Structure 1
Amino acid sequence: MRRTAALALAAGAVALLPSQAAAHPHVFADARLEVTVAPDGTVEKLAHVWRFDDVFSSTVLMEFDKNGDLKLDQSELDTLSQTINESIAEYKYFQTVLADGKDVAMAKPEHLVADFPDNQLLILFESKPDKPLKLSHDKVSFGVYDPTFYTAIDYVNDSDMHISGLPKGCSSQVVRPDPDEAIAANQATLTEAFFNDPTGNDMSKIFATRLEVTCGQG
């Protein structure tokens, strides 16, 4: 059986789950997103922090604690960081960035760091648009989602999604789509394949919590 999701690559025990099991989340993470905008209105960076649930964190600890001391030393953390980095790169680091409804290509993060404070897996990385993205569009949104539906990464509080340096004339809000309303609003673009098996379908981003920035015409 193949591994069912990018983060499942980080834990051998999870790898035994069949691909059909990815229809609903098995791994949960609380996230924080900080978007920084330069003085000229260009998006400078997205700083992501993901804190994973106790069960998945314990599984990762068992897999990567090679010396059996029930903690991850720096060498083990480096191996974990590399494994996760290579795994989720295929899924564009679970990021969704849209400008006027169109995908914005994101450059590969220079560094991804895994840590284990309080026995919980913590992932930190920064990314930026592949090409300059100026907040002069009518609407730009930022968020994360797992297209396989295996990992549920979400923001507990609206304050966990923040933008600094917002240009004059722009406003921001956190949007938490209702699944039924999201499907109804996108009915025309959703295919039969999506309803039969939404896993791995790019349209699953319509369910993602997002930080939405609205500006005037640029």
Structure 2
Amino acid sequence: MGTLRFVHPTALLVAALLTIGMNTASAHPHVWVTAASELIYASDGSISGVRHAWTFDDMFSTYALQGIESKTKGVYTREELASLAQTNVESLKEFGFFTFAKADGKKEKFLEPVDYYLEHKDGALVLHFTLPFKTPFKTRQLALEVFDPSFFVDFSLRKQDPIRLVGAPAACTFAIQRPNDGSAAAQKLNEQTFASGENSNYGAMFANKVTVDCP
């Protein structure tokens, strides 16, 4: 039970239905994440990567921790969560890590994640990982979006300091566009329309968007 994956929506949904009850798990979306991100700049002003910290909802966290052994009851160390962290990061690759970046309108690619780990904080799991860009680059405008196209996972940005520019040139500024809450609208749709792929890009309407301008 300690190897919960980001699976849309078969195995995870079935397991969740059995674990947390039909009424809660049958409505789309199924997992809620509160995100905070850092854009990492090199000394020459190029952007080298994105560092994420994703806090999962209490229900998902409780389910994911089942079967994980810890020396202290209710307290989990990074080492004890290492296997689960690896499983989640490997599973995220299939979905592009729900992270999409464009430099001056051109899509940028990421390398494999590094420096990833899970922490257990205030009863919730927090996944930390860094996505290096395939090639560091300089750009006048960077557009970063974090969302799940199928809306199986609902992402929202942390209320305080959700975005940081680390090492960016002093002239760089950023703006955040927070989406409306899509959960209520999604729950009115038939779950089968998501499972069949009819709403495979539904989550794009509720993407968290960050725009960084460096004149």
Aligned to 1:197: 198
Aligned to 1:120: 124
**Does the aligned pair in 1 maintain the 2:110–2:131 contact within 8 Å?**
yes
- 1:33 pairs, out of 6, 20, 37, with 37
- Structure 1's 75 and 173: CA in aligned 2 closer, same or farther, altered over 3 A? closer
Letter of the 1:213 partner, please give it.
Answer: V
- Structure 1's 209 and 108: CA in aligned 2 closer, same or farther, altered over 3 A? same
User: SS state of the match for residue 30, structure 1?
Assistant: strand
- Structure 1's 148 and 110: CA in aligned 2 closer, same or farther, altered over 3 A? same
How far is 1:123 from its partner? 0.4
Give the Cα–Cα distance (whole angstroms) in 2 for the partners of residues 15 and 77 of structure 1.
24
- 1:166 pairs, out of 156, 165, 168, with 168
Aligned to 1:157: 159
Please give the TM-score of this superposition, normalised by the length of structure 1: 0.72
How far is 1:39 from its partner? 3.0
- 2:66 pairs, out of 41, 58, 62, with 62
- % same residue: 28
Is 1:133 paired with 2:137? yes
Give the Cα–Cα distance (whole angstroms) in 2 for the partners of residues 204 and 11 of structure 1.
18
Is 1:43 paired with 2:47? yes
User: SS state of the match for residue 66, structure 2?
Assistant: helix
Aligned to 1:107: 111
Letter of the 2:208 partner, please give it.
Answer: T
How far is 1:169 from its partner? 4.9
Cα RMSD (Å): 3.6
Q: Deviations over 1:71-103 (max 9, x none)?
A: 545554121112101111111211111123332
Please give the TM-score of this superposition, normalised by the length of structure 2: 0.73
Q: Which runs of 5+ in 2 are unaligned?
A: 183-193
- Structure 1's 11 and 82: CA in aligned 2 closer, same or farther, altered over 3 A? farther
- Structure 1's 129 and 206: CA in aligned 2 closer, same or farther, altered over 3 A? farther
Letter of the 2:29 partner, please give it.
Answer: P
User: SS state of the match for residue 121, structure 1?
Assistant: strand
**Does the aligned pair in 1 maintain the 2:5–2:12 contact within 8 Å?**
no
Query: Which structure has more helix as a fraction of its residues?
Result: 1
Give the Cα–Cα distance (whole angstroms) in 1 for the partners of residues 13 and 71 of structure 2.
16
**Does the aligned pair in 2 maintain the 1:33–1:161 contact within 8 Å?**
yes
Query: Which structure has more strand as a fraction of its residues?
Result: 2
